[in-house]
Amino acid sequence: MHSFFWRFIAVIALLLAAVGILLPIMPTVPFLLVATWAASRGWPELNDWLLKHPDYGPHIIAWQDNGAVSRRAKWLATLMLGGSTTLLWLSGAPVMFAAIITTVFVVVLTWLWWRPEP
């Protein structure tokens, strides 16, 4: 039952990561990190596959080892959140809502840019 639980969490996280690949509003990497975390507790084969993945493996390992985020990922996140913020303010959303979301984005980007780089 213990192994089933961790496998279930890993599969759900992978499915959400797959949705994130297709939808720009959904993040991919956080769900891959959750999938790796869950797989390491109950599905070693999936964990190994994720760590050896040519595209995502190095990023996952950098995060696990040092909490590191690549400069390219930081810039991409900055551009995406900047674009989202611009669209939000141009959309006619309530000012208070737009201000709260913008503040959250600034906090997230500040935290992200303080992360070490691999």
Q: Is the pLDDT of residue 44 over 80?
A: yes
pLDDT mean across residues, the chain? 92
- At 65 the pLDDT is 93
Instruction: Identify whether residues 7 and 61 lie together within a single domain.
Output: yes
Same domain, 41 and 90: no
**Closest Cα partner for 18 from 27, 8, 9, 7?**
27
Q: Are residues 35 and 84 in the same domain?
A: no
Judgement on whether residues 41 and 77 belong to the same structural domain of the protein: no
Do 89 and 53 share a domain, yes or no? Answer: no
Is the domain of 56 the same as that of 6?
Answer: yes
- Which residue range is the domain that position 62 belongs to? 2-66
48 in the same domain as 13: yes
Same domain assignment for residues 60 and 82: no
Pair (14, 28) in one structural domain = yes
Looking at the 3D structure of the chain, how many domains does it have? Answer: 2
Q: Is the pLDDT of residue 116 over 80?
A: yes
Average pLDDT in the 96-103 region?
95
Angle, alpha carbons 117-101-24 (nearest 5°): 60
**Is the pLDDT assigned to residue 61 strictly greater than 90?**
yes
Q: Are residues 6 and 19 in the same domain?
A: yes
Same domain, 10 and 25: yes
